[in-house]
Every structure is written in C-alpha cells, then in structure tokens.
C-alpha cells in the first residue's frame, strides 16, 4: 500500500467513563489515529468518531458542538455507556 496524502492531523481518544461495554473498554484506555480507524476501537461508534475528526480537519471548533476547547470534545459511544474524550492535534509542516 502506498499512501499519497500526507496526513496533517492526529487524534487521541481516551475512555473517561466506562460501563457495560461489549468491547470491554475501561476508564483510561487510549487510542490514537490519523485517518485510519484506531485499532481495537468500537465499530458501532466509529461513525461518530469519523464525523468529529472530519469536523477538525475542516477547521471546525468543537466548542460549537459543546466541547471544552476548540480541539477537545467529549462524546458517548453509540450505546450510551462509554464516554470518550477526543483531542485533535494539528501537525506542523
């Protein structure tokens, strides 16, 4: 595989509240990715994560969606039992 686009965003995802999750996520679990799906992340919640990542890539501000900062937002999983914190990091050229 040969990637042709240089990614300029990195995303860090942390579990900040756990619950009865079939994936077994626990508070403190972390994931990171650029454009690809994070290894071991919930496939049901991936659509939510992808939408939030695209918002950052297009210059969005998470505060407009209820985030605590321009680059940080908390969101729940598709089943509503796990709470994640997403941090978007723009990589300098």
pLDDT tens readout for residues 33-82: 999 999 999 999 999 999 999 999 999 999 999 999 999 999 999 999 99
Residue among 40, 55, 42, 73 at smallest CA distance from 9: 55
Instruction: Report yes or no on 14 lying in a domain.
Output: yes
Q: What is the pLDDT of residue 53?
A: 97
Instruction: Report yes or no on 3 lying in a domain.
Output: no
Instruction: Report yes or no on 52 lying in a domain.
Output: yes
Instruction: Report yes or no on 1 lying in a domain.
Output: no
Instruction: Report yes or no on 2 lying in a domain.
Output: no
Q: Are 86 and 13 in contact (CB under 8 A)?
A: yes
Place 3 in a pLDDT band, splitting at 50, 70 and 90: confident
Residues 32 and 86: their CA atoms lie apart, in Å, by 9
Residues 35 and 84: their CA atoms lie apart, in Å, by 18
pTM value is: 0.93
Mean pLDDT, residues 11-35: 96
Per the structure, how many domains does the chain have?
1
**Which residues have C-beta within 8 Å of that of residue 49, sequence separation ≥ 6?**
11, 13, 38, 41, 75, 84, 86
Q: What is the pLDDT of residue 6?
A: 87
Instruction: Report yes or no on 83 lying in a domain.
Output: yes
| Residues of the domain holding 13 | 9-90
Q: Compute CA 47 distance to the chain's CA centroid, rounded to the nearest angstrom.
A: 10
């Amino acid at each position: 595989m040969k990637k042709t686009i240089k990614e300029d965003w990195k995303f860090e995802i942390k579990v900040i509240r756990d619950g009865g999750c079939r994936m077994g996520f626990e508070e403190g679990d972390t994931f990171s990715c650029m454009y690809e799906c994070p290894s071991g992340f919930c496939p049901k919640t991936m659509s939510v994560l992808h939408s939030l990542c695209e918002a950052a890539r297009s210059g969005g501000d998470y505060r407009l969606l209820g985030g605590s900062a321009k680059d940080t937002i908390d969101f729940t999983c598709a089943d509503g039992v796990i709470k994640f914190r997403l941090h978007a990091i723009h990589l300098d050229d």
